[in-house]
């Protein structure tokens, strides 16, 4: 769309913008994309991604009012359909959802909730507005409402496994330990090999009911054989360390590196393992390389330390922080940020 031309009917508009395109270019493009939909030249779903990209680009430039003006045109277009069919209801719900997410991105959490509510009313079988609603309510410290939103999301989409983890987190933060346990059990009933769910319920029992033996759950976790994502890989390393299987940790990390799948906190885990094995010179070498990889930027290093500490714990993170001569940080709490 950088040349200012409109796409022909049946064709998707090109997404790339010139590297030097500014807010005015983004606004003109957003306006033209909205014209395509309002003029019934293309379905909304065909240009939704480009509209979203331009809206966020303008939001970065602080042009929220103009974004809402253009997206409001789309909402008005769909609102005026009489006897909307299912597709038109979902399109309107998606437009409301995007307006809410733009407000959320701009830090206007109360306004965002009102748009998410509209989205949910228009399409009461749509789970996405409730997930976004929960995030905004959390930012507003309205945790009861955040919990209700996640509960409703899971009713509509019980396969949204990450939402169970967020909900369990909120239950625990509100002192509802029994509800947190039930939530994690429901997740594991649906997905018995969910690594994060297994880790969370093990930690839950260790904190709230230490008399419960979690050995079988730990073995179950380590017995999972799959393609691990980054968080799952960190958790697997943690439980291998708990069993004293330090060589297995190093082998596992090396295998991920060879498969070009080592985009995790591998260096910090290696440094921790070498410390546990009393191989201090190797630990020092790994940490030096780690600092070089991040050009000694404290923000980047702190982010990796938070990720490491969120699984391995505060003491392990603090030990590495001392080695790296950084101020202490606490493990991240995603919903409470």
In the chain, where are the structural domains located? 158-225, 227-337
- To which H or E segment does residue 70 belong? helix 64-79
d(CA 236, CA 172): 23
Express each pLDDT in 29-84 by its tens digit: 999 999 999 999 999 999 999 999 999 999 988 889 889 999 999 999 999 998 99
pLDDT at 19: 39
pLDDT at 152: 98
Q: Is the pTM of this model over 0.85?
A: no
pLDDT at 262: 60
Residue 139 has pLDDT above 60, yes or no: yes
> What would the mean pLDDT of 100-113 be, rounded to a whole number?
96
> What would the mean pLDDT of 16-24 be, rounded to a whole number?
49
Q: Which residues contact 284 (CB under 8 A, 6 or more apart)?
A: 323
Measured in whole angstroms, the distance separating CA 210 from the mean position of its chain's CA atoms is 30
Could you give the count of Cα atoms lying within 13 Å of 28 in the half-sphere of its Cβ?
Answer: 11
Express each pLDDT in 310-335 by its tens digit: 999 999 999 999 888 755 444 444 34
Coil vs helix vs strand at 209: coil
d(CA 137, CA 129): 12
Q: Which residues contact 325 (CB under 8 A, 6 or more apart)?
A: none
Q: Minimal CA–CA distance to 149: which of 125, 119, 127?
A: 127
Residue 15 has pLDDT above 70, yes or no: no
Q: Which residues contact 275 (CB under 8 A, 6 or more apart)?
A: 283, 319
d(CA 59, CA 280): 48
Q: Minimal CA–CA distance to 221: which of 210, 234, 231, 235?
A: 235
CATH number of 158-225: 1.25.40.10
Q: Which residue has the higher pLDDT, 2 or 79?
A: 79
pLDDT at 309: 95
Residue 146 has pLDDT above 50, yes or no: yes
Q: What does the DSSP 8-state code read for residue 12?
A: P
Burial 96-131 (b: 16+ CB within 10 A, else e): bbbbbbbbbebebbebbbebbbbbbebbeebbbbbb
d(CA 332, CA 313): 11
> What would the mean pLDDT of 98-124 be, rounded to a whole number?
97
- To which H or E segment does residue 275 belong? helix 266-276
């Amino acid at each position: 769309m950088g040349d200012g031309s409109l796409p022909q009917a049946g064709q998707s508009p090109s997404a790339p913008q010139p590297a030097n395109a500014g807010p005015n270019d983004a606004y003109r493009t957003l306006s033209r994309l909205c014209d395509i939909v309002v003029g019934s030249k293309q379905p909304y779903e065909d240009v939704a991604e480009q509209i979203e990209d331009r809206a966020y680009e303008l939001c970065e430039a602080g042009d929220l009012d103009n974004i809402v003006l253009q997206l409001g045109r789309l909402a008005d277009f769909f609102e005026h359909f009489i006897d909307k069919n299912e597709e038109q209801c979902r399109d309107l719900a998606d437009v409301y959802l995007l307006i809410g997410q733009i407000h959320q991105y701009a830090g206007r959490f109360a306004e965002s909730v009102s748009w998410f509510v509209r989205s949910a009313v228009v399409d009461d079988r749509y789970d996405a507005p409730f997930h976004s609603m929960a995030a905004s309510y959390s930012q507003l410290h309205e945790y009861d409402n955040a919990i209700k939103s996640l509960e409703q999301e899971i009713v509509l989409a019980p396969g949204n496994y990450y939402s169970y983890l967020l909900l369990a987190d909120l239950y625990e933060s509100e002192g509802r330990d029994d509800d947190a346990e039930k939530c994690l059990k429901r997740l594991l009933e649906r997905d018995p090999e969910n690594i994060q769910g297994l880790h969370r319920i093990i930690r839950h029992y260790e904190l709230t009911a230490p008399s419960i033996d979690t050995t079988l759950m730990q073995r179950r976790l380590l017995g999972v054989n799959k393609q691990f994502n980054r968080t799952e890989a960190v958790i697997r390393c943690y439980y291998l360390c708990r069993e004293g299987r330090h060589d297995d940790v190093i082998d596992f990390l090396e295998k991920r590196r060879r498969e070009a799948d080592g985009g995790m906190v591998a260096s910090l885990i290696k440094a921790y393992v070498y410390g546990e094995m009393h191989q201090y010179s190797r630990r020092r070498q790994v940490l030096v390389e780690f600092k070089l990889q991040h050009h000694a930027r404290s923000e980047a290093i702190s982010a990796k330390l938070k990720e490491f500490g969120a699984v391995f714990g505060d003491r392990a993170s603090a030990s590495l922080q001392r080695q790296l001569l950084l101020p202490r940080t606490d493990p991240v709490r995603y919903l409470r940020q």
